[in-house]
Amino acid sequence: DSYCETLPIDGPPSFRGQSVKYVYKLTIGCQRVNSPIKLLRVPFRVLVLHGLKDYQFPQDEAVAPSNPFLEEEEGLKKDSRLADLATELLMVATSRRSLHLYNISNTRGKVGTFCIFKTVYKIGEDVIGTFNFSEGDIPCLQYSVSLQTEESIQEEFQRRRGQPVSYSTHARHQEACLHTAQSSFSLPIPLSSTPGFTTNIVSLKWRLHFEFVTSGESAGTCVVRGSQSEAVTWSGVEQIEVDTFSWDLSIKVLPTNPVLASYVSQFSSTNSITI
């Protein structure tokens, strides 16, 4: 026997958040005569690419020549074209590159610049960015970058009024950068994560969360010269006044190829039931 069920194109993806969960399961029931009913529940993961519901296929595809020796149902043919279209749209959206430069500064002056080449990614990609501290007026002692998701519940579904937004960290990079002219980081987007989406209950967004630790003194007082001889020894000061500040950069995360997403599945592709 075969079974076929159509999932809604604009439905929510599989998601296990702190307040909301969307879980998909296929329940199969079997029964023998004079025996109890046995149920088999098969969980599966759903990835959703919004924007495909209202897509109109070109009219010339309907009159395109077909192979008379192959029997292909119209529904399967459309599903195949839809899958190819989704893959193409993902490639186009995530392959666009343009230079994005951001000035990093606090109340005392400029710390440096941050460079990123795109803000749209798909699951499984690496988020890569670079820092340039050479033109900064305020020395940066340390920075950290966290790849986070922001889960916010719509007001009418909140457990209590003013329920705060929940944040989850998926990857983090931290580096000491005193006297460093340039630095970079690479944060992988886990294949098991959920792309950004919005429903009438919850909204999931992605962001880069930056934290900077800067010196409260001038650059010349950050180190101590230990000798006036030819062999000069430099040593760090024992105590230093610091300032800290943070910054958030929103990014967009789209689904990935289902073949790649299935690599992290914890469930076997074969299930059985004994009646």
How much is the pLDDT for 104? 94
Q: Does any domain span residue 208?
A: yes
- Helix, strand, or coil here: 260? helix
HSE at residue 103, side-chain half, CA atoms within 13 A, is 9
Count of domains for the chain: 1
Q: How far is CA 182 from the centre of its chain?
A: 25
CA atoms of 235 and 253, how far apart (whole Å): 44
How much is the pLDDT for 61? 45
CA atoms of 222 and 235, how far apart (whole Å): 9
How much is the pLDDT for 219? 47
Tell me the per-residue pLDDT of 235-260, one tens digit each, with 9 for 90 and over.
Answer: 767 788 889 999 999 999 999 877 77
Q: Does any domain span residue 207?
A: yes
194 is in which domain, residue-wise?
100-218+240-258
pTM over 0.85: no
pLDDT at 68 over 60: no
Tell me the per-residue pLDDT of 132-186, one tens digit each, with 9 for 90 and over.
Answer: 999 889 999 999 999 999 999 998 998 888 889 999 999 999 999 988 999 999 9
CA atoms of 46 and 267, how far apart (whole Å): 14
- Residue 270 tokens read as 């074969």
User: Taking Cα atoms as reference points, which of 133, 173, 166, 136 lies closest to residue 152?
Assistant: 166
- The proportion of the chain whose per-residue pLDDT surpasses 70, expressed as a percent, equals 79
How much is the pLDDT for 78? 54
For residues 74, 80, 86 and 91, what is the CA-based torsion angle, rounded to 10 degrees?
-140
- Helix, strand, or coil here: 47? coil
Q: Is the dihedral of CA 79, 84, 89, 90 positive or negative?
A: positive
Are the CB atoms for 208 and 248 separated by under 8 Å? yes
Residue 264 is classified by DSSP as: G
CA atoms of 275 and 273, how far apart (whole Å): 7
CA atoms of 212 and 145, how far apart (whole Å): 9
Backbone angles phi, psi at 83, to 5 degrees: -65, -40
Q: Does any domain span residue 134?
A: yes
pLDDT at 214 over 90: yes
Q: Does any domain span residue 50?
A: no
Are the CB atoms for 207 and 249 separated by under 8 Å? yes
Are the CB atoms for 87 and 257 separated by under 8 Å? yes
Q: Does any domain span residue 109?
A: yes
Residue 181 belongs to domain with CATH number: 2.60.40.640
Q: Does any domain span residue 77?
A: no
Q: Does any domain span residue 132?
A: yes
Using alpha carbons only, give the angle 84, 251, 204 rounded to the nearest 5 degrees: 80
Backbone angles phi, psi at 150, to 5 degrees: -115, 110
Q: Does any domain span residue 11?
A: no
